[in-house]
Structure 1
Amino acid sequence: MTALTGPLARVRAQVSTRSQRRDLRAALLFISPWAVGFLVFTAWPLLYSAYLSLTDYDVLNDPSFIGLENYRTLLEDDKIALSLRNTIFYTVIQVPAYVLVSLGLAMLLNQAGRAAGFFRTAFYLPNMTPPVAVGVLLLLIFNGQNGLINEVLGFFGIDGPSWTTDPNWVKPAIIVMSLWSVGGSVIILLAALRNVPTELYDAARVDGAGPWQRTWSVTLPMISPALFFVTVVNTIAAFQTFTETYTAFFGSGNSTYSNDAALFFSIYLFQQAFQFLNMGYASAMAWVLFVIIMVITVIQLRVSRRLVYLEGEQR
């Protein structure tokens, strides 16, 4: 038996190795569609856009290398500063409003009982609306003369502003309209609320905590990972907002003074790429936007270490 131990061990090792190789080949085969898609549709365009950002390229002619000239031009372009200010203003106001409205609706749904299923579907249905249709709705609902919003305000004796033509009210109108699609975040937060242990609420009641104290001390800490996820995802989306605003204020091709108030960074990037055919300059803009989003996301991740409660993690 002792003499056979060595050969048997080698056979087992070979069989194990062959099995592992077979499993590895099967795993690679299964992930190959994703890997090919990632390389062709994500990695390669990403690397090529980095190259184009260093060139003068108008689609019609071959790219010519100009180094960092596109990035230097970014610093001198007044529209870059304008579009960044508009985008940052929109993000700073829209993201907290989006999260608060989503949380409020989710907490109401959590108390809805049997009707929760119906309202959950009703809140999510607007997410199925095409973004172009939302842009058209924005113009109809916020029309300064006979729009729905001003009609409602007029019923209460309030003279509504010119939402779509007054530069001071264009971004607030876009922000309010963006709340049309809170349904996805509502579903995420509702799922988090349903997973909060009821024992924690019972213990808080025994300690004499009221509804607001229970919300602040139990609900918010326990759903903080979901709140953090919703905040990060919507921050990234806010910096890239495009379709609805472009449809409402730029899609017709008309140039009005309100357009500058609605000129977000992604819209100006699109104009440079497909309207003016400055693909090299647009690629540089895309990389600047990528860096801005990455820096903000890293900051959010660092802040989350203090604000986000992870169950089982020692503090």
Structure 2
Amino acid sequence: MHPREATAARLLKISAGNAYDPDVDIDWDAPQPPGIMYAPQERLSLFGTPLWDALTPDQRVELSKHEVASIASIGIWFEVLLMRMLLRHVTGLDPRSAHVQYALTEIGDECRHSIMFGRMISAFGAPAYQPAAVHRALGRYLGATAGGIQTFAAALIAEEILDALQREAMADDSLQPLVRMVSRIHVVEEARHIKFARDELARQVAGSSKPRRLYCQIVVARAAYTVTHSLINPQAYAAVGLDPARAGAAAWANPRFRETLRWAGSRVTTYLQELGLVEGPARPVWRAAALL
């Protein structure tokens, strides 16, 4: 069996025996205990700044809720974009193949994840935050044009950054139970998606021409910039009475937040460097994304 088919067949088997149903596995009506953080405080974008120091304990909890809501909202946006790109990827391929069937299985997973994130945001009583217009434009471009390298590299950047944050959250007993359970479900199922994307990306890069790789380096770097700059919508700061523009600038100048982004993206950045996708004119964009 071809390695591509072997990977997909193995992931299909795992998917059949290890999947969650958020409607059943999450108690959506359970109360959210007051005074309990929604994310580790050291991972919040303003932690360690004068703005953070001036917040009351209740404001810090509220900010953690809205930052998690923002990340989940952007997660939905990325997952919908990924579904579009995966559909482009499988269009015209043999539907009898395990590769196509696993890609379609992943699309089904992402549908459930998007609904799960939406229900979590609703349970928070928080807004559904949206990326900036310039980032939405890039999403439309990728959704309409992305080929194999752009599809799987962009998927890995979004999935692995979120995966790192959620792996930490699901193991933290001090956080809200709802956040921990949503994180656990997403981490378990995303592990399969990450394996699928890593294997396919390596094959796509190996079969590409030098001009194609150069183009993909730029597009993938810009996707990384969109991911990190979209995670925390500045309007989330308004929920605790902060000026969004001032707080957003403080977050991006905050070395602790930039270190969190490098930590969350370290695994995928290292992998893309090994594949030669973080090179030449793309490197300044990766630095601007706070991932180098």
Q: TM-score, normalised on structure 1?
A: 0.33
Structure (1 or 2) with the larger CA radius of gyration: 1
Structure 2 length normalisation: TM-score?
0.35
